[in-house]
Structure 1
Amino acid sequence: MANPFEHNRLTLTFPDQLGQLVISDLLDIPDDISTVALLYCQGACLVKSKSEADRVLSFSLPDDIDPAYFTAYLLGEILPANQGKIIKSYLDQIRPFLNRLGYTLTSPSDSTQKATKQKATAKAQHRFSKALADTPFYVDYDGAKAEIYWVKRQELVIKKGASLKQETPLNKDGAVGFSQKFALTLRQEHADAIGSDFKTTADIQLKSVNEVGHLLFFAGTNAWLILKDKTGKTLDSHTIAN
């Protein structure tokens, strides 16, 4: 790992294509922030705003990780489940390097952070209701169209005749990312029910809303907000636990 220090900035290039970290003062923020994740810190503590900070950590991330999701994850915000898993795995790999520098990437107040996370977790919980078992929900998003029923707690049915997104999204380097690999695996598992025109020829049973999003449109967004009833009300609105 290269660790050059110059002009009030420290640049760390992680091994194994894990990206790069630049630690600098607040006057040295990158011109193009669309491709990096910016984290503001006061000393070694993560803070939420630039006004509280005395330095900035700029992460250049692997292509599988969206910079906005990375920042949101560390601030305790709600993410699609698959993104949370990817980011957690990434942090586990670079944590030994961060620990050597004294950065644990936690909020200044652990109790506040824990309370925020508990509140966010509660908001993210959804409850199955038998009353919805006969209610059709529809997807019309990014080339995918489908009629779906949530029939049991761990069983959703995509009805025959659904249209799947055809083109597999690729990373910037042209590689297939983690989410896309998972989606392609699901499609392979149900290949007997998917025609060459990417239309389903039979009902498909899946275990979660997350799997539905992957199979139909390679995820990339919150599927709870994409599935809607005939009035346009989202599955999230129908089932979120208050």
Structure 2
Amino acid sequence: MEIKLDVAITPKKTTIKIKPTQSTLTILPVTKANMKLALSELYMLLNDHTIISIGRSEVPDTIEKNAFNKIMHLSVPWDVELDYLEQSLINEAKKCGHDLINTQQAEITIPKNAQKTTTAFKEELLAVLKTFGYSLSPAPEAKNDKPKPAKARHKWTKEVSQIEFTVDTRESKATVFWQKRNEMLLKAGATLMATPPLNKDGSLGFSAKMGQRIREDHVDKIKNNVTTEDIVLKSVNEVGLFLYFGGTNSWLELTDRDGKTINEWTVID
């Protein structure tokens, strides 16, 4: 398989354009600015040349900052679904015996009609990554007796979709249904945390900025920090960012009427 690339290297970044698919890999140092991603991009966190985490839109606050020293942004072709590509790469890492840390996405099944396109792009991407020395395998120097970082995966079911979960934390209150794999239904009348928390230097943190961005997408359905219509969000994490700017494990904040968390309902080993 021949893959043609355009590569540009500067002191601040490396850009790899994959010509056949018009996708782009950008390898960057870890800075606040570089932690911001377009909603159409996938990120890969790098510890030297080992990929330790893959995700979308935002890097979770739960990942220790000293666990990675570079970040890679990946833009993909229009016909490749980010959710499916993310799951495919996570599956590939598992085959290599590597559990990626703090993966936020609930495990999904890639539909048959998307498998061919997703797999073809994944194989091309892995070939490029390998050429530049990046791997989904565990770092060779890692010792087996070291504890693995905590990671939880969650599975949506029809039973869970019928459960009414509530949030009552950090000035926010809401009723939420996990109605589909990638749809969280936030019922009208939810109360939002009014003011985002600030960093010690008075600046907005990454989660606060993400929360503001999500609120801007639904500004026509918010009045005086209360939602006036039902809103559909993409994940439990987005619910937390939207309601109270994140900053805590939202899987533990959504509870049913008996106090059982959505994490307890859906977590899988």
> TM-score over 0.5 for the alignment?
yes
Q: Identify which of 209, 232, 251 aligns with 1:224.
A: 251
Task: Go from structure 1 to structure 2 and tell me whether the alpha carbon gap of 1:88 and 1:206 turns closer, same or farther (over 3 Å shift).
Answer: farther
Secondary structure class of the residue paired with 2:154: coil
Looking at secondary structure, tell me which structure has more helix per residue. 1
Secondary structure class of the residue paired with 1:192: helix
Looking at secondary structure, tell me which structure has more strand per residue. 2
Q: Distance in 2 between matches of 1:86 and 1:182?
A: 19
Q: Name the counterpart of 1:143.
A: 171
4+ residue runs over 6 A deviation: none
Alignment of 1:1-242 (within 5 A): 82-84=60-62, 87=65, 91-92=69-70, 109-113=142-146, 116-117=148-149, 120-121=150-151, 124-195=152-223, 197-242=224-269
Secondary structure class of the residue paired with 1:132: helix
Structure 2 unpaired stretches of 5+? 1-30, 33-51, 53-57, 72-138
- The residue type equivalent to 2:256 in the other structure is D
RMSD: 3.1
Secondary structure class of the residue paired with 1:112: coil
Q: Distance in 2 between matches of 1:194 and 1:86?
A: 34
Secondary structure class of the residue paired with 2:211: helix
Q: Distance in 2 between matches of 1:134 and 1:176?
A: 36
Q: Distance in 1 between matches of 2:68 and 2:141?
A: 22
Q: Distance in 1 between matches of 2:64 and 2:209?
A: 13
How far did residue 151 of structure 1 move?
Answer: 0.4
Aligned length: 150
Secondary structure class of the residue paired with 1:128: coil
Q: Distance in 2 between matches of 1:116 and 1:181?
A: 30
Q: Distance in 1 between matches of 2:145 and 2:185?
A: 40
Q: Name the counterpart of 2:17.
A: none
Structure 1 unpaired stretches of 5+? 1-60, 63-75, 94-105
Q: Distance in 2 between matches of 1:135 and 1:116?
A: 32
Q: Is the 8 A contact 1:81 1:210 kept in 2?
A: no
How far did residue 85 of structure 1 move?
Answer: 6.0
Secondary structure class of the residue paired with 2:203: coil
TM-score normalized by structure 1?
0.55
Q: Is the 8 A contact 1:156 1:205 kept in 2?
A: yes
Greater Rg, structure 1 or structure 2? 1
Q: Name the counterpart of 2:121.
A: none
- The residue type equivalent to 1:92 in the other structure is K
Q: Distance in 2 between matches of 1:137 and 1:147?
A: 6
Q: Is the 8 A contact 1:163 1:216 kept in 2?
A: yes
Secondary structure class of the residue paired with 1:82: coil
- The residue type equivalent to 2:143 in the other structure is D
Task: Go from structure 1 to structure 2 and tell me whether the alpha carbon gap of 1:208 and 1:88 turns closer, same or farther (over 3 Å shift).
Answer: farther
Secondary structure class of the residue paired with 1:173: coil
- Percent identity between matched residues is 38
Q: Distance in 1 between matches of 2:67 and 2:213?
A: 20
How far did residue 84 of structure 1 move?
Answer: 4.7
Task: Go from structure 1 to structure 2 and tell me whether the alpha carbon gap of 1:231 and 1:81 turns closer, same or farther (over 3 Å shift).
Answer: farther
Secondary structure class of the residue paired with 1:229: coil
Secondary structure class of the residue paired with 1:179: helix
